[in-house]
Amino acid sequence: MPNRCVDFQFLAEPTHVNFGGKVHGGMMMKWMDQAGYACAVGWTGAYCVTVSVGAIRFQKPILVGQIVHLHAQVVHTGISSIHVFVSADATDPKTALQCETNHCMISFVATDETGQIIPAPKWTPQTANDMLLERYAIAMKSLSIQAEEMLNFRDASLCLSKWSTN
């Protein structure tokens, strides 16, 4: 049976932080994409590529020396897409205080050896939380499609009319 969840855990190091002493947002995004990738590959058994990252939220900073825990889980599948919800927590090892720091939704597609997109194994929600996260994934997918459609214009005047607030 495919594995729908992946957990990563490691220490935030001085090389991960910005001038303010907090983990770079870009570093966090890299880790989340890596955890999401491992999850998608575990689900499909095939090489996966990131299609989009959406609804990323930076709630609290991660500091040097904190234990970073990323949890990635498949929350929706389409014909060829795998939608993975990734959450991140940070724990102070001296106090054991833990807090959620980030979360996002990442969409992947599986590919074969030639790079062609292949069907994704179907995932079905089992719990109330699974159903909630699947609804969230579907909503994020819909919003992403609507936002992309705003950019599908043929001339500049159409662009201006789409963004007009009059």
Domain spans, the chain: 5-124
pLDDT > 90: what percent of the chain? 77
Question: Does position 154 have pLDDT exceeding 60, yes or no?
Answer: no
> To which CATH superfamily is domain 5-124 assigned?
Hotdog Thioesterase (3.10.129.10)
75 versus 144: which is more confidently predicted? 75
| Residue 103 to residue 132: CA distance in whole angstroms | 15
According to the model, what pLDDT value does residue 165 have? Answer: 47
pLDDT of residue 4: 93
Question: What are 110-141's pLDDT values in tens digits?
Answer: 999 999 999 999 999 999 999 999 999 999 98
Express each pLDDT in 74-91 by its tens digit: 999 999 999 999 999 999
Cα 80-84-88 angle, rounded to 5 deg: 165
List 117's β-bridge partners, or say none.
111
The predicted model scores a pTM of 0.86
